[in-house]
């Protein structure tokens, strides 16, 4: 199967995003943040269907530990691929796209948080050259968006992984 078309989401993409991935409030929020210059919402498309996305957080991190130890470092958040397309390289393609855009903007590093129990994602990030930072885990908050439009904030402990951009590139 051909690689998906990965591009920055636009307001006109909202309905197709919701149709493919749900999470209306999440995508409305991320598009608003993108419009305000706080990040980039990148979406993997196959024809008219969204099959994955990642948000590149450019605003200061919400977690004080990240703001202190990684000032100005962009964060990758909410990397997801639809269940039927997992394991086919789409997550890797989304990582490459996000990293390429950050490198083009002059960023030298990127970071992300990954749940302690998300071993598959941890393997993906390690293959891409991400290394766990030496400061231990970080308490974060996961926002879960429900189909009825409500959201719920849940505590989540994450490993923080960092990658120097422009080094160890492979495709």
Tell me, what CATH number does 54's domain have?
A: 3.40.630.30
Strand partners, 110: 74, 163
Count structural domains, the chain: 1
Name, in order, each residue with C-beta under 8 angstroms of 83's C-beta and a sequence gap of 6 or more: none
Q: What is the pTM of this model?
A: 0.90
| Domain membership flag for residue 108 | yes
What pLDDT score does 171 carry? 39
| Domain membership flag for residue 61 | yes
Confidence of residue 136 (pLDDT cuts 50, 70, 90): very high
Domain with 59, as residue range(s), is: 5-164
| Domain membership flag for residue 169 | no
Per-residue pLDDT tens digits for 50-74: 999 999 999 999 999 999 999 999 9
| Domain membership flag for residue 170 | no
| Domain membership flag for residue 101 | yes
What pLDDT score does 134 carry? 96
Give the ranges where the chain is alpha helix by DSSP (H): 14-21, 24-35, 64-69, 90-104, 119-127
| Domain membership flag for residue 20 | yes
Mean pLDDT of 29-45: 97
Strand partners, 2: none
What pLDDT score does 167 carry? 62
Tell me: pLDDT of 91 over 50: yes
């Amino acid at each position: 199967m051909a690689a998906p078309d990965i591009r920055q989401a636009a307001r006109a993409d909202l309905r197709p995003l919701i149709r493919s991935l749900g999470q209306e409030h999440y995508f409305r929020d991320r598009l608003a943040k993108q419009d305000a210059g706080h990040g980039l919402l990148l979406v993997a498309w196959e024809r008219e269907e969204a099959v994955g996305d990642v948000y590149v957080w450019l605003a200061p991190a919400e977690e004080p530990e990240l703001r202190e130890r990684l000032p100005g470092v962009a964060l990758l958040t909410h990397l997801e691929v639809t269940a039927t397309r997992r394991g086919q390289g789409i997550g890797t393609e989304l990582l490459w796209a996000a990293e390429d855009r950050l490198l083009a903007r002059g960023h030298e590093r990127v970071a992300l948080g990954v749940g302690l129990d998300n071993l598959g994602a941890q393997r993906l990030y390690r293959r891409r050259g991400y290394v766990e930072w030496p400061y231990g885990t970080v308490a974060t908050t996961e926002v879960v968006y429900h189909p009825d439009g409500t959201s719920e904030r849940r505590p989540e402990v994450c490993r923080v992984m960092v990658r120097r951009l422009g080094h160890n590139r492979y495709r």
